[in-house]
Amino acid sequence: MNNESHGRLTKDGIRIYDPATDFPGMHAAGRLAATILDDIAPHVKVGQTTDEIDRIITDMVDAAGATSATIGYKGYQHASCISVNHVVCHGIPGPKTLKDGDILNIDVTVIVDGWYGDTSRMYVAGRLPRKAERLIEVTHDALMKGIEVVKPGNTFGDIGHAIQTFVESHRMSVVRDFCGHGLGRVFHAPPNVLHYGRPGTGAVLEEGMLFTIEPMVNLGRPETKTLADDWTAVTRDKSLSAQFEHSVGVTADGFEIFTLSPAGKFHPTY
Ligand code: MF3
Ligand code: CO
Ligand code: CO
């Protein structure tokens, strides 16, 4: 079954899926991605390399009979992105070992029966420093504030506004250079889901839309730069950065989150 056989496109080019027949596939894909993030938690520890964490994730995807969406994506070669401390996103797993107090985002996208599940959350190696704890808490809560306004008739600007005002009220900044995205039978599709914005602007949400919300929040300024490897995005001012991501669907009266943690481990203070 190809993508075109699923639903229709809005005037903004956003695909409308069928909640009854399509959301179960999204639940299965999202559940696997979230389960992998649950099960990787005990492997995040001082002395561990991000390479080794990625290898374990690769094995988990294989063991589930699923496919990694990131291996081979635009030349990317890993089953996860692991972004440590001032890395904003798209950190490449490597031989560096984690040290006490490092915070990291692990982002996993899997394909199950053609459906994409994309989620990320924060971890700590060793003891969580106080400032990092605040950043992680605010970033998590910002994602949930964005999700809470997801319902038919609201706009994508409403989502961005909810996230931005919450983050800035805590004197932290929202990264502008990366955004969430539509997904479903494809990894990245319209719309760009901005994590800042004005109420009432942008495309109107409709039942059957599928997309991610994945705010990146910095303790310092919002600007990023991409390293020479063409993937790793870091804060320009070297300040700490955090991110959480869920894959969601718009229902008749609100939203469904496909990537909830089966073990209840999504929240940083689990
Ligand atoms: N999972 C990321 C996202 O949230 C995309 C990673 S693409 C990769 O959209 F190639 F860097 F893995
Ligand atoms: Co994403
Ligand atoms: Co992701």
Does 118 sit in the ligand 1 pocket, CB within 6 Å?
yes
Question: Which one, of 6, 233, 255, 222, lies nearest residue 107 by Cα?
Answer: 233
Does 239 sit in the ligand 1 pocket, CB within 6 Å?
no
52 CA to centre of ligand 3 in angstroms? 19
74 CA to centre of ligand 1 in angstroms? 10
Neighbours of ion ligand 2 (CB under 5 A): 118, 212
231 CA: nearest ligand 1 atom: 11
74 CA: nearest ligand 1 atom: 10
What single DSSP character describes residue 93?
A: P
Task: Give nearest CA residue, ligand 1 atom 8.
Answer: 70
Task: Give nearest CA residue, ligand 1 atom 7.
Answer: 70
76 CA: nearest ligand 1 atom: 10
Query: How does DSSP assign 202-266, residue by residue?
Result: SPBP-TT-EEEE--EEESS-S-EEE-TTSS-EEETT---EEE-BEEEEE-SSSEEES---TTS--
Beta carbons of 240 and 83 less than 8 angstroms apart = no
73 CA: nearest ligand 1 atom: 10
Q: State the pairing for strand pair 103-112/67-68.
A: antiparallel
Does 224 sit in the ligand 1 pocket, CB within 6 Å?
no
Looking at the chain, how many residues does it have?
270
Question: Which one, of 171, 239, 203, 178, lies nearest residue 11 by Cα?
Answer: 203
DSSP SS3 for 113: coil
Does 270 sit in the ligand 1 pocket, CB within 6 Å?
no
Which token pair is 178? 């990366």
Please give the angle made by the CA atoms of 169, 103 and 110, to the nearest 5 degrees: 95
Does 90 sit in the ligand 1 pocket, CB within 6 Å?
yes
Does 54 sit in the ligand 1 pocket, CB within 6 Å?
no
Is pTM beyond 0.95 here? Answer: yes
Given this model, what pLDDT does residue 238 score? Answer: 98
Q: Taking the chain (270 residues) in consecutive chunks of 10 residues, what is each chunk's mean pLDDT?
A: 75 97 98 98 97 98 98 98 98 98 98 98 97 98 98 98 98 98 98 98 98 99 98 98 98 98 83
Question: Which one, of 138, 183, 224, 207, lies nearest residue 29 by Cα?
Answer: 183
Task: Give nearest CA residue, ligand 1 atom 11.
Answer: 90
Beta carbons of 73 and 187 less than 8 angstroms apart = yes
Please give the angle made by the CA atoms of 150, 151 and 156, to the nearest 5 degrees: 55
Given this model, what pLDDT does residue 267 score? Answer: 82
Given this model, what pLDDT does residue 3 score? Answer: 59
184 CA to centre of ligand 1 in angstroms? 14
Does 164 sit in the ligand 1 pocket, CB within 6 Å?
no
